[in-house]
Amino acid sequence: MHISHWQRAIVFVDMDAFFASIEQLDDPALRGRPVAVTNGMQGTCIITCSYEARARGVHTGMRIREARQLCPELVRCASRPQRYAQLATLLSDTLREAISPDLEVFSVDEAFIDVTRCQRLLGSPPDIARRAKQLIEAVVGLPCTVGVSGDRTTAKYVAKLHKPNGLGVVCPAQARDFLHDVPVTRLCGIAEGIGRFLAARGVYTCGDMAQLPVGILGKRFGHPGRRIWLMCQGRDPEPIHPTVAVPKSLGHGKVMPPETTSRQVILTYLLHMSERLAARMRQHQLQARSFSIGLLTRYGWLGDTYRTPTPTQDGKIITALTRSMLDEYWRGEGVSQVQITALDPVPVDGQLELFAEPGTPVHGARNQAMDRINQRYGELTLAPARLLKRTEMPNVISPAWKPQGPRQSI
């Protein structure tokens, strides 16, 4: 069935093996070869890999040693998150300008575009999807897969079926039949826990969902439950979100060598994350009072939430909190990861130093000077001496990455 004008049209863009494709783009010698990207040359877990590697059985999450048993000629590349974020920003800016401002960056390599209002100008939704795909290939020379339908869930699922370098179209009137035999857990947003809840009520495929009263899902999951009921019938009502909500928390973490037991090494990692978090808050004019500080061990997370007398964006103050946590909770267990999160970031009101409690260190001018130097010459160009011994493993792109604002985090 062909409909010249769709009442609602959503295009989903998914970059193919994005990080590995960028490595092949920047180094022509890698094109056509199996490539795996790891977090630096010390990282052993594959972040992503090229389709040439996937054809040999290599996959995301696999260890390099295991991957090379399957594919001895595998080329290992250290991740370059700044480069990946740079191209992701270019892509989102290009699509927003040339296709539609109604664009939502879903992740660093995925985006939804509402093209409902573009049809009179740019043509049918399938034509617009082809236009977006050609534009991406022309601007950066990277492959992508595009899905288009009348709602975001169906568009995303049809794109998955056409990877790599494909284009999938499902007209809104055909979406329900298209999804009928698809297992519910194949749709984005339906995790295993929800899948078990549905299976217990006889719902295994999207077609089964029509037999389950929507009130059952609404009572158990609230509004998300009602959305799930509609998603499975090709009627996902969720709109595109062009604007990015202010984050309710800001955090930074780092994976460490397994079973690290050196207090000095752990302190170095905690100092690094404290300074990174503080610099990020200053960059976006935020401050916080509550900080969650944790260490991951083989027995689970150690740590607690700590509060400062007044809101802060100073790395020294946050570092002092991490020392308190270490003294209180750590008893020599092997540590594999550190995490520091500001739980209540709020905009700076300009009165922080005026109302600082007696004895609270104030380093506003020093921090501003340090930030200017680091922004010009690179992160931690000017930093506490202990960080000279920090890990050489690069930073990583946050799962919540967005091209602007506090979520533009690496």
End position of a domain, from candidates 35, 59, 80: 80
Assess whether 95 and 49 both reside in one domain: no
Assess whether 264 and 117 both reside in one domain: no
End position of a domain, from candidates 53, 80, 107: 80
Q: Would 237 be classed as within a structural domain?
A: no
Assess whether 96 and 220 both reside in one domain: yes
Q: What letter would DSSP give residue 394?
A: P
CATH number of the CATH domain containing 62: 3.40.1170.60
* Count of structural domains within the chain: 3
Q: Would 146 be classed as within a structural domain?
A: yes
Assess whether 129 and 177 both reside in one domain: yes
pLDDT (tens digit per residue) in 274-325:
999 999 999 889 999 999 999 999 999 999 999 999 999 999 999 999 999 9
Assess whether 402 and 254 both reside in one domain: yes
Share of the chain above pLDDT 70, in %: 92
Assess whether 69 and 91 both reside in one domain: no
Give the pLDDT band (50/70/90) at residue 372: confident
CATH number of the CATH domain containing 297: 3.30.1490.100
Assess whether 172 and 303 both reside in one domain: no
Q: Would 241 be classed as within a structural domain?
A: no
End position of a domain, from candidates 231, 260, 287: 231
**What is the pTM (predicted TM-score) of this model?**
0.83
Give the pLDDT band (50/70/90) at residue 2: very low
Map residue 267 onto helix, strand or coil: helix
End-to-end CA distance of the chain: 45
Map residue 161 onto helix, strand or coil: helix
Region 172-190 average pLDDT: 96
Region 365-374 average pLDDT: 76
Q: Which residue has the higher pLDDT, 85 or 408?
A: 85
| Angular region, 10: left φ>0, alpha ψ -120 to 50, beta rest | beta
pLDDT at 404 over 80: no
Burial 62-90 (b: 16+ CB within 10 A, else e): bebeebbeebeebbbbebbbeebbebbbe
Assess whether 263 and 399 both reside in one domain: yes
Assess whether 113 and 75 both reside in one domain: no
Residue 362, Cβ neighbours under 10 Å: how many?
13
Residues facing residue 32 across a β-bridge: none
pLDDT at 166 over 80: yes
Q: Chain-wide mean pLDDT for the chain?
A: 90
Q: Would 52 be classed as within a structural domain?
A: yes
Distances (CA, A) of 279 to 81, 134, 201, 274, 366: 18, 39, 50, 9, 12
pLDDT (tens digit per residue) in 225-269:
999 999 999 999 999 999 988 788 999 998 888 899 999 999 999
Distances (CA, A) of 33 to 10, 50, 57: 34, 8, 14
Q: Provide the residue range defining the domain that includes 64.
A: 18-80
Give the pLDDT band (50/70/90) at residue 218: very high
Catalytic residue set: 110
Query: Which stretches of 260-363 are DSSP H helices?
Result: 263-283, 315-329
Assess whether 158 and 296 both reside in one domain: no
pLDDT at 362 over 90: no
Assess whether 254 and 400 both reside in one domain: yes
pLDDT (tens digit per residue) in 128-158:
999 999 999 999 999 999 999 999 999 999 9
Assess whether 274 and 402 both reside in one domain: yes
Q: What are the structure tokens assigned to 407, written together?
A: 């979520």
Q: Would 2 be classed as within a structural domain?
A: no
Q: Which residue has the higher pLDDT, 169 or 248?
A: 169
Q: Would 242 be classed as within a structural domain?
A: no
Q: Would 283 be classed as within a structural domain?
A: yes
Map residue 149 onto helix, strand or coil: strand
Q: Would 210 be classed as within a structural domain?
A: yes
Cβ-contact 297, 335 below 8 angstroms = yes
Cβ-contact 135, 94 below 8 angstroms = yes
In angstroms, how far is CA 355 from the centroid of its own chain?
37
CATH number of the CATH domain containing 220: 3.30.70.270
Nearest to 118 by CA among 103, 94, 99: 99
Region 342-369 average pLDDT: 67
